[in-house]
Amino acid sequence: MKKAVYRILDANLDRAREGLRIIEEWCRLGLNNQPLAEECKQIRQELAQWHSWELRQARDTPGDVGTDLSHPQEETRDSIEQLLQANLCRSQEALRVLEEYSKLYNSEMAAACKQMRYRVYTIESSLFNNYRLQQLHNAPLYLVTSPEPEILKIVEAALKGGLTLVQYRDKEGQDSDRIAKANQLCQLCHHYNALFLVNDRVDIALAVDADGVHLGQHDAPVGFAREVLGSHKIVGRSTTNKQELDKAIAERADYVGVGPFYETPTKPGKPALAVEYINYVNAKCPVPWFAIGGIEQNNLNAVLTTGAQRVAVVRAIMKAEQPMQVTRQLMSQLIRR
């Protein structure tokens, strides 16, 4: 029994350290995040201190019946997020095994592994929050959907055109239909490594595991959305004036929508923004902001001259005959700026 326990400890010490090294490399070279990279390295070094010669001597790789066990999902990774999640789970599971079996070997090791497991949970929260925020920051174009019969085809065409940020907006459908559609769109966006947010409905965002939610001025507070969805999800807020922007910043929204830049049927009765507010946003907004409201190819350059670097569109893509081509053209105009 002792040798079997030693083999389990040896295998899981290796497994936990290997998973953490993969996470560490992305934190260091993918995100340039020194604190997260250092924490991964620190946990690996602490595990190494428990990896005694006694445990290593118990290793029997040729006699391990699990070396040939595999699963098709382990053969490929569809995105960097999926790769990171798989290796975080690998480390967390290994640490849980170490915690339990160490109770038969060394109680201090068991306690240490328990605390390291909690630290890896913290790394996971920080990592995905950082990853999503980086994706948000790098997204120049934001598609807000409208209820179209071919919504899935339109969104997929836009994703193929380079779109990386989608918001599902449907204020009139039944909840059961909206949840089903949101789930389909969420899976589609994640297949193309794009962020998927839900308009207004924190509950639907939670139900489909969306990357976040976009809130209007009369929707739930930002803090409530964070409490429900978790601190690692994105929360955005619409703004139309200085007071609304200041409140969104105070609530610590991850981004804001600024509009309408032009009169639009999406926001009936709302006049176009005053130049003074756009100047205020440029001077005071510390988070990414998206110009929105009647923006299309013909007026995009004029929008960009106001200082906007990111735009959100609805009809420009949702009503386009060739949404993939239009997306590429919009992206090209934005990237050139």
Contact 313, 142 (CB under 8 A): yes
- Of these residues, 15, 90, 132, 169, which one is catalytic? 169
Q: How many residues does the chain have?
A: 337
User: Does a structural domain hold residue 68?
Assistant: no
Query: Among 118, 134, 150, which residue terminates a domain?
Result: 134
Compute the distance between CA of residue 23 and CA of residue 16 in angstroms, rounded to an integer. Answer: 11
| Per-residue model confidence (pLDDT) at position 30 | 84
Are 18 and 146 within one domain? no
Are 26 and 161 within one domain? no
- Exposure string of 272-293, with b = 16+ CB inside 10 Å and e = fewer, is ebeeebbebbeeebebbbbbbb
Helix (H, G, I), strand (E, B), or coil: what is residue 256?
A: strand
Distance of CA 45 to the CA centre of its chain: 29
Q: 327: domain CATH number?
A: 3.20.20.70
| Per-residue model confidence (pLDDT) at position 274 | 81
Per-residue pLDDT of the chain (337 residues; tens, 9 = 90+): 899 999 999 999 999 999 999 999 999 998 888 999 999 999 999 999 999 999 999 888 877 777 665 665 556 777 788 899 999 999 999 999 999 999 999 999 999 999 999 999 999 988 887 888 889 999 999 999 999 999 999 999 999 999 999 999 998 889 999 999 999 999 999 999 899 999 999 999 999 999 999 999 999 999 999 999 988 899 999 999 999 999 999 999 999 999 999 987 766 767 778 889 999 999 999 999 999 999 999 999 999 999 999 999 999 999 999 999 999 999 999 987 6
Q: Would you state the structure tokens that stand for residue 128, as one six-digit string? A: 């995905």
Are 114 and 188 within one domain? no
| Per-residue model confidence (pLDDT) at position 300 | 96
User: Does a structural domain hold residue 115?
Assistant: yes
68: left (phi over 0), alpha (psi -120 to 50) or beta: alpha
* Whether 267 is catalytic: yes
Are 307 and 328 within one domain? yes
Are 190 and 107 within one domain? no
Query: Among 86, 116, 134, which residue terminates a domain?
Result: 134
User: Does a structural domain hold residue 105?
Assistant: yes
Residue whose entry in the numeric block shows the structure tokens 């600024």 = 258
User: Does a structural domain hold residue 300?
Assistant: yes
Are 159 and 234 within one domain? yes
- Of these residues, 21, 267, 315, 328, which one is catalytic? 267
User: Does a structural domain hold residue 126?
Assistant: yes
* Whether 319 is catalytic: no
* Whether 119 is catalytic: no
Are 125 and 167 within one domain? no
- Of these residues, 90, 237, 238, 310, which one is catalytic? 238
Are 117 and 200 within one domain? no
Are 85 and 172 within one domain? no
User: Does a structural domain hold residue 246?
Assistant: yes
Are 121 and 262 within one domain? no
Are 99 and 154 within one domain? no
Helix (H, G, I), strand (E, B), or coil: what is residue 117?
A: helix
Query: Among 134, 165, 182, which residue terminates a domain?
Result: 134
Are 153 and 169 within one domain? yes
Q: Would you state the structure tokens that stand for residue 316, as one six-digit string? A: 């420009």
| Per-residue model confidence (pLDDT) at position 173 | 80
User: Does a structural domain hold residue 195?
Assistant: yes
The total of structural domains in the chain comes to 2
134: left (phi over 0), alpha (psi -120 to 50) or beta: alpha
| Per-residue model confidence (pLDDT) at position 143 | 98
Residue 47's domain comprises: 2-60+75-134
User: Does a structural domain hold residue 67?
Assistant: no
